[in-house]
Structure 1
Amino acid sequence: MRIPQESDRRGQCPIPHHSSPVDTDHDRVALFTPEFAADPHRAYRDMRARYGSMVPVELAPGVPATLVIGYRTAVRIMHDPEHFPADPRAWERGVPADCPVLPILSWRPNALRSAGTEHERYRRAAVAGIAGVDLHGLRGMVEGVATTLIDTFRPTGAADLHRDYAAPLAFQAINALLGCPPEIGNEVAAATAAIFEGVDTARSDQRLAAAMLRLIEQKRAEPAADITSRLIAHPAGFTDEELIHQLGILYGAGTEPMLNLISNALLLILTDERFAGSMLDGSLSTRDALDEVLFHDPPMANFSVTYPRQPILIDNTWLPANQPVVIGLAACNNDPEIGAGPITGNRSHLAWGGGPHACPADTVAYLIAQDAVDQLLDAIPEVRLAVPVHELSWRPGPFHRALAALPVVFPASPA
C-alpha cells in the first residue's frame, strides 16, 4: 500500500464532500407541501432521526437547500456572517426567473439580503427608524383598530379571526408605523400577500415597488413622525430604489408574520387548557402565550437564510457553496439537546433570528400582538372555536406557519 506523500495532500480536504447527506439531489424533504404544513413537528422529528441537525430539503420543486434543525448549530451559523453571509446573488444566478421563492429570497438593497458594510448601513437606518416609534401612541392606535374590527363582527356571533381580525389589524398597524395612507396600504397588502403565496410573483413584486414609490414621493413632499419619513431623512442618504426595499422588508416582516403570530396565539389560548383558564385567573398572561407560540409555532418557522461562500464542514456535514442554508426556527427551539424545561418566562427561542440579522422590531411586534389578543379577549371573553381543532388547515409554504382560517363563535352583542 502506497503511503500518501505531503505533495498528495496539498490543496485537498481530508474529508470527502460526497459523504454529505446534504450535498445531494436525491431524497430531499419538500417543505412546500400540504402534508408538511399539516404536521411540521412530526416532519422535524423524522428529519432529526434520519439526518441529525442538517437536513437536505427543497424550498420549491427543484430548489435545493439545507435546513438546520439543531439549536446550537443554528446559533453558531447566525453569529458567523463571515462564513454564512445573507447575500444571495451568487445563488440566484442559477435560479429560473419564475421560481416561486425567488421574490422572497432574491437580493435586494436592504439589511435582510446584504452583508458586510452594505448590511451595516441598511441596518443602522432600520434600527433608527424603528427606535423612533412612540410605543404609547402605538398602543392607542392598536386598541382603536381592534375595537373597530371587533365591532364589525360582534353582532353576528361568528367570525374568521385570521381574515376578519388578525390580517387587517396587522396591515393597519404597519401602515400607521410607516405613515401609509389606506389607498396605498391596500395595494401593498394585496401585493405582499401574493408574494408570500407565490402567486404571479414577478408581477406582484413590481406592483409592490410601485406602491412603495408612491408612498416615498408623498413623504418627501409631506414628512411626518413615521418610519418612512425617518428613513428618508437618515444620514445614509438612500435613493428611491433603496427606500423601496427598506420599506418592502418592513412590510414583509410586519404583516404576514404579525398576523400569523396573532392568529397562532389566539388558537393556543382557545385550545390549550393551560391558557384557556389561566388567562382569566391571571396565572398566565398573553405574553406567556406569545412566547409559547414563538417556541413551538413561530410565524416564520423556517427562515434566517444564508449562503456559504465556499463548501464548509458543519456537524460532520459538507454544505455546498452558494446554496441556501435555512434555519429551522421551530425545529431548533424544540431540539431535544437543549432540554424540554418550562417555557413560561423563557425567551431563549430563535423566532426573532439571531446575530447581526436578528429582528430589530421585536418590542414593537410584542406590543402589537399582545394588545390585539387582549382587546379581543376583553371584548368577547366567551369566544370559542367553531370547528374541532383537527379540522383547521394550515397554508402550505416553506417559510411560514400560517393558518388558512380561524373560525370562531361567541354570543352576539351590539357593536
Structure 2
Amino acid sequence: MTTPPETARAHNAPGRGDDRRVALYTPEFAAHPHRAYREMREQYGSLVPVDLAPGVPATLVIGYRTALRILNDPDRFPADPRTWERTVPGDCPVLPVLQWRPAAPRSAGPAHARYRGATTAALDGVDLHAARRTVEHHAVPLINKFCERGSADLVREYAFPLTFEVINAMLGCPPEISERAAAATAAIFDGVDAEAGNRMFGEAVSDLVAAKRREPGNDLTTRLLHDPAGFDEEEMVHQVLALYGVGMGPMQSLIINALSVMLTDDRFADDMLGGSVSTRDALDDVLFDDPPLPNASVTYPRQPVLIDNTWLPAHQPVVISLAGCNNDPEIRTGNHTGNRAHLAWGAGPHACPAQNTAQLIAQEAIDQLLDALPELRLAVPAAELTWRPGPLHRTLAALPVTFPPSPPLHLP
C-alpha cells in the first residue's frame, strides 16, 4: 500500500520510545483503567497508540463499533502473531500470553477453524449439571477452612484454589501435574519470570496429555485426544494449554471481580443481607466494567489498514479493549441489569466458546459462598484494594473479608 495521505492520522506509525504512547503496563493504569480510557478517548478517539510493555507498541481499540468491524474481519485482521513475534525480544513480558501457538486463540484461516471446531466439540461435551456439582464439591471444603475464623482472603483462600480444582477436574488433571501448572500460570500472568513460567506450563500439560493417553476419561483432554482433527503431540499440548491458560486466570478474576462489586457497590452491598442481590446482575456489571481479560483480544493486520481515519501499521498488534469498548459513550446506557451486549466474551470467529460454562461456574462459586456466609463484609476500605499490574488482565491482588464465625458446612 502506498504512503498514507496527509489527511489521515499516523499516530500509530511504528516507533519505539514514542512519548505519545500510553503505557498499559504501569501500576497507575492497573489502578485506574477507566480514568485512563476516558482520557484516551478525549485525546485520540477510538484508536489509541499504546505500549504493552516497554518498547512494545500497539494500537488499543476503545470504540465499540470499530471493535466489531475489526473482530468480524479476520481476513484483514488475523490473530496470527508470528510476523510480529520476530520484532520483540524473547524475554518480553507479554510474549508468553500473545505468542503464536497451534491453537484457536492465536491462529487464523483454516488452522483456526480446525482448532476451534475441536475445542467447541470438547466443551459441548461438558455436563453443566455435573459442573455445578463439581463447584459445590470443591467450594464447601474451602469454605470450611475459614468459616469458623470469621475472616479470609477470598483470592488466596477461595477463588484461586476453587478455580484450580474445577478446571483440573474438567481437564482430568491429576494433582501432581496440576500443582506445577498452577505455579506456571501465576508466573505467566504476573509477568514475573514469564519465560520460565511458559516453559513450566508446557511441561506440565505435556505430562497431562501423556497421562490421558494411558488412562482416558470423561474430560476435555480425552475428548480433544479423540477428536477427528487428529492432533499431533505438539498440537494436542497446545489445545490443552489454551483451555488451561484461559480457564484459570480469567475464571478466578471473574469470581473475585464480581464479589468485589457485590461488597463495595451500594447497589449490591445494601441488598446482600436481605438476600435480594442477584449474582447474575453482578456478573453482568463486571463483564461490562472489569472483564477478566480486558485487553487480550489481539489481531495483527496483514498490511497497513486505514480505519477511522487512522493508519494501522502492518503486523503491529491491534488490541481490542473489551473494557474500553463496553464503556464507549456511544453505546453505554448506564444500567447493566439484563443487558448482555458487552464484548467481554469477544465477538466474531474468535468469540469465547466457553462463555456459558464459565458463567455457570462463576455464578455457582459466588452463590455457594454467599449462601454459607451471607453477612460477608469487606475487611478494609475499598480504596485500599489493589489490582495486579499488567496490561492484559484485570483482577484484585487480594480481597480480605470478615463475617460472623459460622459452623462448618456438610456436603449433601
TM-score (norm: length of structure 2):
0.96
Helix, strand or coil: the match of 1:330? helix
Report % sequence identity: 64
Q: Does 1:15 align with 2:5?
A: yes
CA–CA separation in structure 2 for the residues paired with 1:143 and 1:79: 38
Equivalent residues of 1:17, 1:318 under 8 A apart: no
Q: Does 1:297 align with 2:287?
A: no
Can you list the C-alpha shifts for 1:238-278, whole angstroms capped at 9, x where unaligned? 11111111111101110100001000000111111211234
Q: Does 1:194 align with 2:184?
A: no
Query: Could you tell me which residue of structure 2 aligns to residue 254 of structure 1?
Result: 247
Residues 17 and 397 of structure 1: is their aligned pair in 2 closer, same or farther, counting only changes over 3 Å?
farther
CA–CA separation in structure 2 for the residues paired with 1:30 and 1:62: 10
Query: Could you tell me which residue of structure 1 aligns to residue 326 of structure 2?
Result: 333
1:132 Cα deviation (Å)?
0.2
Letter paired with 2:60: L
1:283 Cα deviation (Å)?
5.0
Q: Does 1:379 align with 2:369?
A: no
* Structure 2 unmatched runs, 5+: none
Residues 118 and 139 of structure 1: is their aligned pair in 2 closer, same or farther, counting only changes over 3 Å?
same
Equivalence map 1:306-325=2 (5 Å)? 306-325=299-318
1:97 Cα deviation (Å)?
0.7
Equivalent residues of 2:61, 2:319 under 8 A apart: yes
Letter paired with 1:323: Q
Helix, strand or coil: the match of 1:395? coil
Query: Could you tell me which residue of structure 2 aligns to residue 223 of structure 1?
Result: 216
Letter paired with 2:10: S
Query: RMSD in angstroms over aligned alpha carbons?
Result: 1.4
CA–CA separation in structure 2 for the residues paired with 1:227 and 1:207: 21
Query: Could you tell me which residue of structure 1 aligns to residue 116 of structure 2?
Result: 123
Residues 154 and 280 of structure 1: is their aligned pair in 2 closer, same or farther, counting only changes over 3 Å?
closer
CA–CA separation in structure 2 for the residues paired with 1:19 and 1:51: 10
Equivalent residues of 1:110, 1:119 under 8 A apart: yes
Helix, strand or coil: the match of 2:316? coil
Query: Could you tell me which residue of structure 2 aligns to residue 181 of structure 1?
Result: 174
Residues 70 and 387 of structure 1: is their aligned pair in 2 closer, same or farther, counting only changes over 3 Å?
same
CA–CA separation in structure 2 for the residues paired with 1:391 and 1:339: 28
1:130 Cα deviation (Å)?
0.4
Say how many residue pairs are matched.
405
Equivalent residues of 1:392, 1:403 under 8 A apart: yes
Letter paired with 2:146: F
Query: Could you tell me which residue of structure 1 aligns to residue 340 of structure 2?
Result: 347
Equivalent residues of 1:395, 1:402 under 8 A apart: yes
Equivalence map 1:63-78=2 (5 Å)? 63-78=56-71
Helix, strand or coil: the match of 1:126? helix
Letter paired with 1:263: I
Helix, strand or coil: the match of 2:147? helix
CA–CA separation in structure 2 for the residues paired with 1:91 and 1:299: 25
1:16 Cα deviation (Å)?
3.8
Query: Could you tell me which residue of structure 2 aligns to residue 57 of structure 1?
Result: 50
Letter paired with 2:396: L
Residues 250 and 137 of structure 1: is their aligned pair in 2 closer, same or farther, counting only changes over 3 Å?
same
Query: Could you tell me which residue of structure 1 aligns to residue 91 of structure 2?
Result: 98
Equivalent residues of 2:373, 2:406 under 8 A apart: no
Query: Could you tell me which residue of structure 1 aligns to residue 35 of structure 2?
Result: 42
2:229 corresponds, among 236, 245, 256, to: 236
1:342 Cα deviation (Å)?
2.4
Helix, strand or coil: the match of 2:57? strand
2:385 corresponds, among 385, 388, 392, to: 392
Query: Could you tell me which residue of structure 1 aligns to residue 360 of structure 2?
Result: 367
Helix, strand or coil: the match of 2:330? helix
CA–CA separation in structure 1 for the residues paired with 2:180 and 2:7: 47
1:218 Cα deviation (Å)?
1.0
Report which of the two structures shows the higher radius of gyration computed on alpha carbons.
1
Helix, strand or coil: the match of 1:156? coil
CA–CA separation in structure 1 for the residues paired with 2:382 and 2:288: 20
Equivalent residues of 2:254, 2:362 under 8 A apart: yes
Equivalent residues of 1:295, 1:351 under 8 A apart: yes
Letter paired with 1:52: G
Equivalent residues of 1:129, 1:231 under 8 A apart: yes
1:413 Cα deviation (Å)?
2.4
CA–CA separation in structure 1 for the residues paired with 2:148 and 2:75: 56
CA–CA separation in structure 2 for the residues paired with 1:191 and 1:326: 24
CA–CA separation in structure 2 for the residues paired with 1:81 and 1:14: 22
1:390 Cα deviation (Å)?
0.2
Equivalent residues of 1:24, 1:56 under 8 A apart: no
Equivalent residues of 1:159, 1:409 under 8 A apart: yes
CA–CA separation in structure 1 for the residues paired with 2:335 and 2:288: 11
Letter paired with 1:185: S
Residues 14 and 45 of structure 1: is their aligned pair in 2 closer, same or farther, counting only changes over 3 Å?
closer
2:103 corresponds, among 97, 103, 110, to: 110
1:303 Cα deviation (Å)?
1.8
Equivalent residues of 1:157, 1:412 under 8 A apart: yes
Equivalent residues of 1:258, 1:365 under 8 A apart: yes
1:17 Cα deviation (Å)?
8.6
* Structure 1 unmatched runs, 5+: 1-10
1:24 Cα deviation (Å)?
5.3
